[in-house]
Chains A and B, each alone.
Chain A
Amino acid sequence: MTTPSGTSSPPSPRRRGLILFAWLWVGVPLAYGVYELVQKATQLFTG
């Protein structure tokens, strides 16, 4: 986190919520893709 003077401080609760939302926004579809991939990859050992 950045301030004009160049020092760091922990994010405010509002920003923490935004960070969580943003990561979920991209994380959920990615998790779906990885899940589908793992399902397919297991065929190497079971197929």
Chain B
Amino acid sequence: MSPPVAPTGWSRWLVPPAALSVHLSIGQAYAWSVFKPPLESALGLSGTQSALPFQLGIVMLGLSAAFGGTLVERNGPRWAMTVALCCFSSGFLIAALGAATEQYWLIVLGYGFVGGIGLGIGYISPVSTLIKWFPDRPGMATGIAIMGFGGGALIASPWSAQMLESFGADPSGIALAFLVHGLTYAVFMSLGVLLVRVPRPDSRPTPSGPSPIEGVQVSAREAVRTPQFWCLWVVLCMNVTAGIGILEKAAPMITDFFADTETPVSVSAAAGFVALLSAANMAGRIGWSSTSDLIGRKNIYRLYLGVGALMYLLITQFGDSSKPLFIVCALVILSFYGGGFATIPAYLKDLFGTYQVGAIHGRLLTAWSTAGVLGPLIVNWVADSQEEAGKHGSGLYGLSLTIMIGLLVVGFVANELVRPVHPRHHIPAPREAADDDTVRHEQSA
């Protein structure tokens, strides 16, 4: 399939909604927890078992983004969005069959394996195209799309819960809910498939802005051989791990911090705190990523990692003495977490150009998968060990918060080490390549 080239008069403002239709759909993955309790009671599963489809889905997201990135670059965004639509929707349909026949392995296979491929291909599908359409504001463009991934859970969480309430939480009710999800997401994502276009190679999306193919260009294969790629890998991994440090334990953390004060936090208030963190995560994706277009990518990551470490330090030192301070610091950390995700494609574009930025982004997402394992592991292990040591209240979290500060400092240093890519990694410009060929012909002659 050749990439769909925009006809004359095509507006670039049609591309962000195309990207959003995919990201808002696949962001449903973060609302999987809604299905856990009904599945556990209907099929007699443990908590660990009911988490399997989500975990496999995230693993498949990382793998398909890493290994499918080059295919996405070659075949274009419409192909990628079609694959994402087919995999994500049919994943739900297979899961519906699994629920209806009470074959849990089918739910794991459908939602986790097949749907997970849809997650990975869908996640990277619009990145390269958006950057090409918005060379003047790549941070804002990718911020819009990646904000959609956060927004997807906000939509799916209440929607799925209402559906399960209407259809019932028995196997047939769950099957029907999966079926409706699969069909609805297929229709919703089709807008992206129909609307997405790549700019013409000779076009300039803004009259005074840069051309989509100006500047340094590095292939995905070559990019992973550069220290810059691995510095950004560390930056993303550390930033995400630090965010997960708060996300993973948000509700118990705020409850424990203020348990011994005059104003303890209730269960419903803690749920409100978690919701507010989701809002900060989403707002950070579009807000900070757009800001990076103005102040530069390196500076914005200095902010994420440096100020993020400072926020963690404030929580460690004064968090239990002031509820507003604790909440504000946590919100800032979560906004940086979202911002880190959304700004990384534009950072990659600055370093490696637009040539295969989607594929490079796909490979970099392995940092996310690593952080997804590392973050919860550190936080839960430390919390358990502190509890065993007899600590309580805010004392339970002191060590894990200090570890998070350390990780952010490592990320900060990695960001400082990022330099422009050495010219030996650049792909030759067409003219240079032609000259090289001429020289080679002359020499052989």
Contact = CB atoms under 8 A, between A and B. Distances in A.
Interface string B1-12: 000001011111
A40 B275 contact: yes
Nearest to B31: A33
Contacts of A47: 266-269, 271-272
A6 B204 contact: yes
A3 B24 CA distance: 30
A1 B158 contact: no
Interface in A14-39: 15, 18-19, 22-23, 25-26, 29-30, 32-34, 36-38
A19 B11 contact: yes
Contact of A26 (B21, B157, B203, B204): B21
- Where chain B touches its partner, the secondary structure class is helix
Given A2-B199, A4-B203, A41 B272 contact: yes
A47 B272 CA distance: 8
Contact of A23 (B10, B17, B278): B17
Given A15-B9, A19-B13, A6 B203 contact: yes
Contacts of B153: 33
Interface in B143-187: 148, 151, 153-159
A8 B199 CA distance: 13
Indicate the member of A3, A22, A45 with the most B CB atoms within 10 Å.
A22
Task: Please classify how large the interface on chain A is, using the bins under 10, 10 to 19, 20 to 34, 35 or more.
Answer: 20 to 34
A44 to B, nearest CB: 3
B283 to A, nearest CB: 10
Contact of B157 (A1, A6, A36): A36
A33 B191 contact: no
B272 A43 contact: yes
B206 interface: yes
B162 to A, nearest CB: 10
B18 interface: yes
B351 interface: no
B21 A25 contact: yes
B8 A3 contact: yes
B212 to A, nearest CB: 10
B204 A33 contact: no
Contacts of A32: 155, 158-159
Nearest to A11: B11
B307 interface: no
Contacts of B11: 1, 11, 15, 19
The 9 A-B pairs with the shortest beta carbon distances in the complex, nearest first, are A44-B272, A33-B154, A43-B272, A47-B268, A47-B269, A6-B204, A33-B155, A22-B17, A40-B275
Given A33-B158, A41-B276, 4 more contacts: A3-B9, A6-B202, A25-B17, A45-B269
Interface of A: 1-9, 11-12, 15, 18-19, 22-23, 25-26, 29-30, 32-34, 36-38, 40-47
5 contacts: A2-B204, A4-B202, A6-B211, A36-B154, A44-B275
